[in-house]
Structure 1
Amino acid sequence: MMDLLAPIWLLLLLPLGALAVTYVVLQRRRRRYAVRFASLPMLEKVAPHQPGWRRHAPAAAFVLALSALALAAARPVIDVRVPHERATVIVALDVSRSMQATDVEPTRMDAAKQAAASFIENLPDTFNVGLVTFSGSTSVVAPPTKDHEAVAAALDGLPMANSTAIGEAVFTSLDQVASMSGGDESVDVPARIVLLSDGTNTSGRSPDEAAVAASEAGVPVSTIAYGTQEGTVEIQGRLVPVPVDVEALAALADGTGGVAYTAESGDELAEVYEDIGSSIGWRTEAREITPYLAAAGFLLGLGAGAMSLRWFARLP
């Protein structure tokens, strides 16, 4: 998408358009005059080799050059994707017993750990990444660090427990983000929480409270609702349904400016993490392209002069 900082300068295109129309009209008049007042056989003998398209090429290049310069005067800007130099990413992972469900092979937990490890290792080296786990309570398994391999390794052997404290996971993650500023509020480092869960909040503060806190801190929370609605786990010899609460997780993401995802398989989860990684690693920045258009105008003008000298031994 392109925008203009000084669109008033586009008025320069009006006289340029008039010049182009005048050129076309004069060329047609010249052709009619030549046909009317010259004998065609004699014309072929006097000028057997007509320049054809080359006659108009310098003029066309000249008009394009002026158009580029007029557009450059309007100071156009375009949105470009540039990489973040640094950021803090907290991966919050649900370790409640419902993650033992086998609706995702081999289990929700095993597939989630594998996808999270790949996500962490593929983040830019300049990013600090931390790992928070949650069930009925939360645990900071790895504080934010640039040692991504160490954080990925910490995913192995995570203990599992009952209940799901989604809201508390967000609050704990926000504390880890805040710790990176060292109490200096002037330190503005982009941050993102990526939270994966397969259940409903059953412990601690609510996701709504967490959404308010994350929004006030300016930290988007992207959520991944993981698993199928048919998932079950065996507890004391009986199967207990563990459906995914897609709506609650989507509301948490929407309330913080994050993105809500769903994944029902290990492959889908890998794609979700890949998409999140590409969005976290880049930002959109408006960049002025005036110098490029000015350079293009100069080169087109130079080309027009070169063609005219080469073919007609004169400047246009």
Structure 2
Amino acid sequence: MNGALSWLAHPEALLPLGLAWLCLAAGLALAHRRGERGLAALIGGNPGRADRSIRDLLVLGALGLVTIAWLGPTLGHRTTRVPASGLDVVLLLDVSRSMEAPDVAPDRMARARRLARGVLARLGEGDRAALAVFAGRGELLTPLTADKGALAEMLPALDTELLRDTGSRGAAGLLAVLPAFDRSGLRPRLLLVVSDGEVGVIPAAVRERMVEAELRVVTALLGTERGSRLPDHGRYLRDREGREVVSQREVGRFAELVEATGGRIFLADEWGEIDFSALIGEVRRDAVPDAEGMIERRVPVPWFGLPAALALVLLALEAWPAAWLRRRHPGARPRRGVVPSGLATRVGARAALVTLGAGLAIVPLSSRTEPDLRETLEARLAAEGPDAGLLIALGVARVRAGASQEAEHAFRAAAMTARRPELAALAWFDLGVLALESGRLEEARDAFFDATTASGGDRSLDREVKFNLEWTLAALRSRENPPSPPPPSSSEREEEPKESREPADGDPEAAEPEPSPEMRTGEEAREREGPTGAPDADAETPPPTLDAEKAEQWLENLDDDVRSALETRFEKDPVRRDGPRW
């Protein structure tokens, strides 16, 4: 699998990005299905899906190409010169049970720690290092760091009891070190394996992973060819058949891996010594700069630009039908000329400005009868899919046929699907006119506001929208605040017949004589004073009067909290939300 994806810079992201692409595809299909149902309910028929499948495929293909570009496809490698910035090296130590063999004094594990300490001491100032171990499994102990001294302090803790699984699987250790390296960086990458070679089989897939990561593998093999028995609590370790276990150094396990990655194998002598200078030279081979401070690096050649360009082409093709429609009918501009019956009585002398968007140049209305026109437009919508111009023409045809409710559906569908702002403005404008015709002033106001925001630069239409909006707002204000009737004049009150003011017979209240001015004055005083001459409890007590000095002191001590005052006011007198909905 990894070999097949070696042309990708980030093959690990293929699965999540592929799942994301499938989710987007499913969401797009579901959105189109719901939109088709909603649009069919608006226009009263099948909206058509002739070119929808092609458009969906183009969009999904563009998303797929963008996904491929995101994965970082590469096309071979090239050699380039970059400034020398140091080396990234991981020291992978074998901590399996066979490293306890004493064929090199004191044992192989002690020699491995000593060798690792010497390598860390000889690394350059800009080099970074990390520690990893393996036995039955592999473990990356530290990330890459420039603090080689801290890594050296960790070496005494590395022994054969570090991992519970005391087997020896070198492939697990090789895979464990891969996350330590930054594949996007230009620093040379090296893996130094310190082992006795008894690491089991290294599969070809693991070798391919090392090559893909551009990781050069150098091995230092400890032990001797004759081998040694393994101590086990004062005795020697035996196998299941009771025979003593003898551990020998093996060279062939790493041979193919080292050759495939361009590395080298170093063998210890019978005393456990390795040509240390040659080992350090091999470790830092790719990090040695030339006279100009540059090194040569083999880097992959990216070609993400090709899938990205193809994605743009597919998106352009997806938008091509609408562009082709505009070029085919360059005169497709909204024209006005149909006034709904009864509307002139509402808007007065300037009612001619309140008009419906009549035929578009793409649909010659005057050459067809109304039933034929409606059928023709519905058939074109079913064949070509939603089109704002056709929906507006269908709405006008339905208005002429007296189907105002169906006309509103068509105009609303046009406003929702219009890609050109002038068509969206015209559709909202027609919706407002129909709402005015039926007396729905609030809906008309909202539609005219939407037409204003969607204006496409048609000054004539903008003027009509503005006039209708102003008229609608004025009508709403007059309906909310009707004028009160004027009070009767004094001459009308004098001309009122006396008999109308005379009390009727049998009316006890009317039989009472009208009190004299003196009586009215006394009664008013008693009403103000309350019973027994006391002040009325319900009467408002006038506030105390402060002189200028006290008033100034009171104002200085007043704590002005504007925010709290505003919040309190809004709680008591909330702002009305009866304005237009945008």
Q: Same fold (TM over 0.5)?
A: yes
In the alignment, residue 196 of structure 1 is paired with which amino acid?
A: V
Q: Which residue among 281, 288, 292 is the counterpart of 1:282? A: 288
Shift of residue 286 of structure 1? Answer: 9.9
Structure 2 gap segments, 5+ residues each: 1-81, 237-243, 294-582
Shift of residue 122 of structure 1? Answer: 1.2
1:47-105 CA distances to partner (integer Å, 9 max, x unpaired)? xxxxxxxxxxxxxxxxxxxxxxxxxxxxxxxxxxx994222101111011111111111
Match of 1:68 in 2: none
1:188 and 2:186 matched: yes
In the alignment, residue 96 of structure 1 is paired with which amino acid?
A: S
Match of 2:470 in 1: none
Q: Which residue among 220, 223, 241 is the counterpart of 2:246? A: 241
Q: Which residue among 261, 268, 272 is the counterpart of 1:266? A: 272
Write out aligned runs for 1:94-173 (5 A).
94-161=94-161, 162-173=166-177
Task: Report the Cα distance in structure 2 between the residues aligned to 1:132 and 1:125, rounded to whole angstroms.
Answer: 21
Does structure 2 retain, via aligned residues, the 8 Å contact 1:133–1:141? Answer: yes
In the alignment, residue 108 of structure 1 is paired with which amino acid?
A: R
Q: Which residue among 194, 197, 212 is the counterpart of 2:195? A: 197
Task: Report the Cα distance in structure 2 between the residues aligned to 1:274 and 1:104, rounded to whole angstroms.
Answer: 21
Shift of residue 166 of structure 1? Answer: 1.0
Task: Report the Cα distance in structure 2 between the residues aligned to 1:109 and 1:116, rounded to whole angstroms.
Answer: 11
Does structure 2 retain, via aligned residues, the 8 Å contact 1:115–1:266? Answer: no
Task: Report the Cα distance in structure 2 between the residues aligned to 1:107 and 1:130, rounded to whole angstroms.
Answer: 24
Match of 2:178 in 1: 174
Closer, same or farther: CA 124–175 of 1 in aligned 2, 3 Å: same
Percent identical pairs in the alignment equals 26
In the alignment, residue 240 of structure 1 is paired with which amino acid?
A: V
Does structure 1 retain, via aligned residues, the 8 Å contact 2:223–2:249? Answer: yes
Does structure 1 retain, via aligned residues, the 8 Å contact 2:198–2:253? Answer: yes
In the alignment, residue 276 of structure 2 is paired with which amino acid?
A: A
Does structure 1 retain, via aligned residues, the 8 Å contact 2:222–2:272? Answer: no
Closer, same or farther: CA 152–270 of 1 in aligned 2, 3 Å: same
Task: Report the Cα distance in structure 2 between the residues aligned to 1:119 and 1:206, rounded to whole angstroms.
Answer: 25
Q: Which residue among 203, 207, 210 is the counterpart of 1:211? A: 207
Does structure 1 retain, via aligned residues, the 8 Å contact 2:112–2:195? Answer: no
Closer, same or farther: CA 176–149 of 1 in aligned 2, 3 Å: same
Task: Report the Cα distance in structure 2 between the residues aligned to 1:164 and 1:111, rounded to whole angstroms.
Answer: 18
1:203-237 CA distances to partner (integer Å, 9 max, x unpaired)? xx835332110101111111122210222212463
In the alignment, residue 231 of structure 2 is paired with which amino acid?
A: E
1:171-194 CA distances to partner (integer Å, 9 max, x unpaired)? 11111113xx6xxx3x32211001
Shift of residue 159 of structure 1? Answer: 3.6
Q: Which has the larger radius of gyration?
A: 2
- Number of equivalenced pairs: 198
Does structure 2 retain, via aligned residues, the 8 Å contact 1:115–1:269? Answer: no
In terms of fraction of residues, the more strand-rich structure is 1
Task: Report the Cα distance in structure 2 between the residues aligned to 1:272 and 1:94, rounded to whole angstroms.
Answer: 21
Shift of residue 141 of structure 1? Answer: 2.2
Does structure 1 retain, via aligned residues, the 8 Å contact 2:197–2:254? Answer: no
Shift of residue 249 of structure 1? Answer: 1.4
In the alignment, residue 256 of structure 1 is paired with which amino acid?
A: T
Closer, same or farther: CA 260–130 of 1 in aligned 2, 3 Å: same
Shift of residue 251 of structure 1? Answer: 1.7
SS at 1:248 equivalent: helix
Match of 1:73 in 2: none
**Higher RCO by CA contacts (8 Å cutoff, separation 6 or greater):** 1
TM value normalised by structure 2:
0.32
Shift of residue 201 of structure 1? Answer: 2.5
Shift of residue 269 of structure 1? Answer: 5.8
Task: Report the Cα distance in structure 1 between the residues aligned to 2:129 and 2:203, rounded to whole angstroms.
Answer: 22
State the superposition RMSD in angstroms: 2.6
Match of 1:62 in 2: none
SS at 1:154 equivalent: helix
Q: Which residue among 224, 231, 240 is the counterpart of 1:228? A: 224
Closer, same or farther: CA 193–96 of 1 in aligned 2, 3 Å: same
Task: Report the Cα distance in structure 2 between the residues aligned to 1:283 and 1:260, rounded to whole angstroms.
Answer: 24
Task: Report the Cα distance in structure 1 between the residues aligned to 2:255 and 2:90, rounded to whole angstroms.
Answer: 18
Match of 2:257 in 1: 252
